[in-house]
Structure 1
Amino acid sequence: MKMNKITTLLFASLTMGMMSSCVNDDDTTLPEYTPLIFGEDFSGAADNTLFEKEGWLNFAEAGTPRWTNQVYSGNGYAEFTSYQSGQTSNIAWLITPGINLDAQEGEKLVFQTAQAFVDNAANTIEVLISTDFDGTNVTAATWQTLNATFPTTSATYYQFIKSGVIDLSRFTGTAHIAFKVKGNGTTLDGTYQIDNIRVYN
C-alpha cells in the first residue's frame, strides 16, 4: 500500500531541505537521498567495457554501438557514442531494472548528464519511462518522455549537469527508466555520459 500522504510530505520536506543546504551548483556527485528507492552511480566496472549489469538492458535499436562503462579520475559513469560507427543511424537505449512505484508516494527522479563533441542538435539524448515494458521488447512498450535538463551543444565537454527534479508520482506499478540516444557515424557522432541516477521520495 502507498504510504500516508502526510508522512510522505514530511519526508519530501526534509529531503528538499537537505538538497538546498548540501548541494552546490558545481557538485559532480549527488547526495544520498533518503528514503532512496533506486540508485545507480556506475561504480565498480572496468573502464571502456560494455555496460552489463543484472536487471538492466543495454539495447541497440539501430546500428551496433551500445552503452559502455567509463572511468575517469576514479569516477565511473555510462557513456554512449556512435563515433566511427560507419552507420547511417545509431539509436541506443539504457534501461533500468523495474522500480516499484506502488510501495510509496511522491517519487522523484534525478540524474546527471554530460556531453562531448555534440555539435548538432539532432544528436540527442532523452529520458523516458514505461510501466508496461516486459523487460525484453523495447519497441513494443509504451514510453513517455520525461522533462529533464540536458547539456546543450555549447556545454563544456564532460561537465556533468543536473537533470532537475522530475516528478514520477503520477505513475503507478513497476516502472522502467530509459536513456535513449540518437546519432550516426558521420555528422551526429558526439558522446553522452550519464551518472548518479536516483529515485527517491
Structure 2
Amino acid sequence: MKKILKRILAITLFCGVFVSCVNDEDTDIPTLRVAFFSEGFESIQNTGNNQFIALEGWSNVSVNGGSELWEARFFSSDGKYAQMSAFGTGEANVNTWLITPAINLDETENEALRFSYKAAFYNGQAVSVWISEDYDGSNTASGINNATWTNLNVSLPDYATSGYPNRFSLSDIIDLSDYNGNVHIAFRYVGGSSGVSTTYQIDNIKVFENN
C-alpha cells in the first residue's frame, strides 16, 4: 500500500512540475534566456483603425509617403499588438517600416531575436525583418533610405487564407550575434491594395542572450 501511495505521490509531483513549466504565453523565451529588450505594446493607450504606433524611440514610416502606417490594435484574447495591411488602403505601393529604438549589443553575447506573429487573409508574404547598425533613429524616410539594412531572411510560414489564425505563431530564433553597437530592428511591410495585401500582426518582440 505504501508503494502505491508513493507512486501516486511521485506522479502527482511530476505532473505539477510539468504543468508549472508550461506558460500560457507561447512567445516566452526559455527561462534562463532573459530578454534585455522586450516590447509587447501593452503600454499603448489608444488602439484601433488609424491609431498609429508612436512609442518613444520607435519609428513608423512609409518611405513612399503613403498614409498607411503600422497600427496599434487590441483583441480580448491577445491583448495589444502591431498590425499592418495594404487591404483597402488604395495605395498601390505600400512600403512601411516599424523600427525599434536602438538596442545596444556591446554588453551581451550570442544575441538573438524572437517574436510572435499572425498572418491573416494571406495572399503572399508582405513582412520581412531587417537590421541596421547605422540608422539614425530619426523616424524619417530619408533616415531609413540613408541607412544600411540587412535582411534577416526570417521565415513566417504560418498563415490563414480566410480570416485570422486562432493564435499567434512563434518565429524561429533569429541569430544577431554578428552585429555590434546600437542596432535597430525593422519590420518592413511591402504590398499594395491590388497586390499582396495580407494582414500582419506582430507582438512580443524580444532580444536576448541565446546561451
Q: What TM-score, normalized by structure 1, do the two folds share?
A: 0.80
Larger radius of gyration: 2
Report the counterpart of residue 17 of structure 1 in structure 2. Answer: none
Give, in whole Å, the separation in 1 of the partners of 2:93 and 2:55. 25
* 1:54 correspondence with 2:56: yes
Unmatched segments (≥5 aa) in structure 2:
1-19
Q: How is 1:36-185 mapped onto 2 (pairs within 5 angstroms)?
A: 36-45=35-44, 46-48=46-48, 49-62=51-64, 63-73=66-76, 75-119=79-123, 121=124, 123-136=125-138, 137-152=143-158, 154=160, 157-158=164-165, 159-185=167-193
CA contact (8 A) 1:33 1:200 kept: no
Provide structure 1 residue ranges, at least 5 long, that are not aligned to the other structure: 1-20
1:156-201 Cα shifts (integer Å, max 9, x gaps): 7243211111111111110000000111122322211100000011
Percent identity, aligned pairs only, is: 38
Amino acid of the structure 1 residue aligned with 2:107: A
Q: Which moved more, 1:146-155 or 1:58-67?
A: 146-155
2:33 and 2:25 map into 1 onto residues whose CA distance is: 19
SS at match of 1:139: helix
Distance 2:203 2:152 in 1: 17
Q: CA 1:91–1:23 in 2, change beyond 3 Å: closer, same or farther?
A: farther
Q: Within 1, Cα distance between the matches of 2:181 and 2:98? A: 20
**CA distance in structure 2 between the partners assigned to 1:172 and 1:38 by the alignment:** 15
Deviating more after overlay: 153-162 vs 104-113: 153-162
- Quote the RMSD (CA, aligned, Å): 2.2
Determine if contact 1:113/1:151 at 8 Å carries over to the other structure.
Answer: no
* CA positional deviation for 1:50: 1.2
**Residue 35 of structure 1 pairs with residue 34 of structure 2:** yes
Matched residues in 2 for 1:157 and 1:33: separation?
32
How far off its partner does 1:23 sit? 5.7
Cα pair distance change 1:22/1:60, threshold 3 Å: farther
Deviates more, 1:143-152 or 1:180-189: 143-152
For residues 114 and 40 of structure 2, the distance between their equivalents in structure 1, rounded to whole angstroms, comes to 12
